[in-house]
Amino acid sequence: MSKVIISSLYDSDTFKMACRQFDQAADAISLPEDIRDRTKYPRRCVAVALPVRRDDGTVTVFEGYRVQHNLSTGPAKGGIRFHQDVTIGEVAALSLWMSWKCSLAGLPYGGAKGGVIVNPGQLSEGELERLSRRYMQELIPFIGPHIDVPAPDVGTNEKIMGWMMDTYSNHIGHHSPAIVTGKPLSLGGSQGRREATGAGVAYLITRYLEDLRIPVKEATVAIQGFGNVGGEAALALSDYGAKIIALSDYTGGVFNAGGIDVRKALNYVKYQKVLRDFDGGEPITNEQLLTLKCTVLVPAALERAITAETAPKLQCRLLAEAANGPTTNDASRIIEDRGDIELIPDVLCNAGGVIVSYFEWLQNLQNFYWSREEVLQKLFAILDRAKEAVEYQRRKFKFGRRLAALTLGIQRVADAKQRRGLFP
């Protein structure tokens, strides 16, 4: 009965996709029935109405959500998305993936996610600040440094995290940096946090290229999504010596067989906001980018970009899922059946963001700050451990890499729930 109600609350393709992944992983490790639904469904969610005074004096009410999937292994942790297509089902799916990701990386967190239905590009700076502060204000009864710690995601950034931290700190009456991560350095942000997700993606790509015996300097890379994650991954990969042959954002893409100057592209986007009309190569569509012949394909935009229609046409050797859920379940099956593409699944590939968020939270709680070198060294050590664990699980059970990563993440959460017991 409860199962039906919860499923319909979150009803969406992305939530169904995350649940199907859970079911497959639970079957693969024979997870006992009495722990399954407890582990699968989000623990709680809030929906909030956010009235915001516009610059012209009118008021617009925006809708926002926060979904806390798991609180059994520590405070919940997860980003806040500002995007016009946000749904509560999408936010719930992202909260499940956060749980498995934190668990796989061995972080003492559960998963959460937040979202507001808004196109932030259509708000003035003042409107964006009022919306960010109002959203945080509405969440205050549900979050805290030991309850749920938000971070940036699509459409949010360190400036927004700073406003949110200030709103929370004003409410409780003292500086409380550990309430959010991904803050500016001057407000208790961590060295290396801004680039952490992309740097982690790039590091794992170099490790998997080593396994494939492909020198990074001979690798060509196509990246969909040129925001925080795609931009930083592009920069780190080009610094490792890889050739970035294609980049894109929601306005379309650019292709240059000789290699794109990533710093020039980043500088262009800093001022123009989008890649449209960037003159570093020929224009291409997002569809063309995904099916380009390249060594590494990095989807770093939104969920469900690679579909059953695209999957047979992929021409990469390594698919590095920098975005969350970029490959539909049907597409994933096709890729696995093809057997010629190695996959770095999202819960491993983009874990760098939450790992350095964890470091930021630790530094805030201790008021003791680390150098960038220390942060990156510790980040890469955790990614190496997680990669080794996935490879071991894969060999031991003859699983695909996604199933190996998910089963590890899910098993640890289910174990924690079982050992804690059921209250009352």
Which of residues 31 and 278 has its CB atom nearest to ligand NAD in the complex? Answer: 278
Which of residues 217 and 372 has its CB atom nearest to ligand NAD in the complex? Answer: 372
- Residue 254 pairs in a beta bridge with 247, 283
Which of residues 265 and 414 has its CB atom nearest to ligand NAD in the complex? Answer: 265
Q: How far is CA 365 from CA 46, 144, 170, 359, 421, in A?
A: 26, 12, 18, 10, 29
Q: What is the distance of C-alpha 237 from the center of its chain?
A: 19
Shortest spacing between CB 147 and ligand NAD, in angstroms: 21
Which of residues 74 and 115 has its CB atom nearest to ligand NAD in the complex? Answer: 115
Shortest spacing between CB 127 and ligand NAD, in angstroms: 18
The 10 Å CB-count burial string (b at 16+, else e) for 384-395 is: eebbebbeebbe
Residues in Cβ contact with 10 at an 8 Å cutoff, skipping those fewer than 6 apart? 42, 88, 89, 92, 93
Shortest spacing between CB 46 and ligand NAD, in angstroms: 20
The 10 Å CB-count burial string (b at 16+, else e) for 38-65 is: ebbbbbebbebebebeeeeeeeeebebb
Q: How far is CA 61 from CA 49, 55, 118, 163, in A?
A: 6, 14, 10, 19
Which of residues 199 and 390 has its CB atom nearest to ligand NAD in the complex? Answer: 199
Instruction: Classify residue 72 by its DSSP letter.
Output: S
Helices (H) and strands (E) in the chain, counts: 15, 12
Nearest to 115 by CA among 148, 147, 154, 149: 154
Burial class (CB in 10 A: 0-12, 13-18, 19+), 252: middle
Shortest spacing between CB 52 and ligand NAD, in angstroms: 20
Q: Is 113 a catalytic residue?
A: yes
| Separation between Cα atoms, residue 148 and residue 157, nearest integer Å | 18
Shortest spacing between CB 300 and ligand NAD, in angstroms: 5
Which of residues 229 and 320 has its CB atom nearest to ligand NAD in the complex? Answer: 229
Which of 77, 101, 113, 183 is labelled catalytic?
113
Radius of gyration of the chain (CA): 21
Shortest spacing between CB 56 and ligand NAD, in angstroms: 26
Which of residues 31 and 45 has its CB atom nearest to ligand NAD in the complex? Answer: 45
Shortest spacing between CB 379 and ligand NAD, in angstroms: 12
| Separation between Cα atoms, residue 205 and residue 349, nearest integer Å | 8
Both tokens of residue 136? Answer: 């945080």
Q: Which residue is nearest to ligand NAD (CB)?
A: 227
Which stretches of 99-155 are assigned E, i.e. beta strand? 110-117, 148-152
Interacting residues toward ligand NAD by CB under 6 A: 152-155, 197, 224-230, 248-250, 286, 300-302, 322-324, 350, 353
Residues forming the active site: 113
